[in-house]
Homo-oligomer: A and B are copies of this chain.
Amino acid sequence: METSPLTREDWLNQALTELKARGHGALKAQPLAKSLNVTRGSFYHHFDSLSDFHTAVIDHWSRQSSGQIIQAAQAAADPCKALDDLLQTTFRSGQALERAIRAWSTVQPLVAKAVATVDHDRIGVAEALLIRGGVAAIKAKPRAQLLYWAAIGRLMMPYPAESVLSSAEISDIAGLMLETDVGKG
């Protein structure tokens, strides 16, 4: 029962909440106003139009996720264990928000552009991890892409919670990715 006046950021946070729970189809003024216990008057006070609001939501998400990317880049102490840890976490937690954003990006060019930027940065982190793990630079990029695609593909599975690998299975994958000479087995 918040009685304090709403800020522009409150609207954006609520947008991410609804986006996560119901998808981008829920990013409309009327339903959002109802969920915040106000009328659309508040919405059109903080935003010019729906599309203006949508671009603000994308910016909000971009900022939020680019911060997490920088954090991930820092946390690389031992590259081998870092890669394993990264895969362990990324192949387990179900990220509904990311799911919704990517679904949205298939019908909204502005969202697609923002997602592309985030993707590029994240793949760069994975690539650096592989290189510092001993993988040749030429092979590191495609392998990083493979790993990133797999991470995205997994969270795009219909029931992401059921798409989980065991620790041993993930470690096998991590070992594969750090392999230096292929074809001698």
Contacts and interface: CB of A to CB of B under 8 A. Distances in A.
A156 B146 contact: no
Given A23-B106, A143-B172, A181-B185, 13 more contacts: A102-B103, A103-B104, A116-B158, A119-B157, A142-B165, A142-B169, A142-B170, A142-B172, A145-B165, A146-B150, A149-B151, A153-B154, A184-B184
B107 A158 contact: no
Most chain B CB within 10 A, of A141, A176, A184, is at A176
Contacts of A181: 185
Nearest to A100: B106
Contacts of A148: 153
A107 B21 CA distance: 9
Contacts of A172: 139, 142-143, 182
Interface residues of A, number: 51
A22 B107 CA distance: 7
A185 B179 CA distance: 6
A183 interface: yes
B25 A107 contact: yes
A163 interface: yes
Interface in A11-37: 22-23, 25
A99 interface: yes
A166 to B, nearest CB: 8
Interface string A32-66: 00000000000000000000000000000000000
Contact of A158 (B115, B145, B163, B182): B115
A102 B156 contact: yes
Interface in A113-153: 113, 115-116, 119, 139, 141-143, 145-153
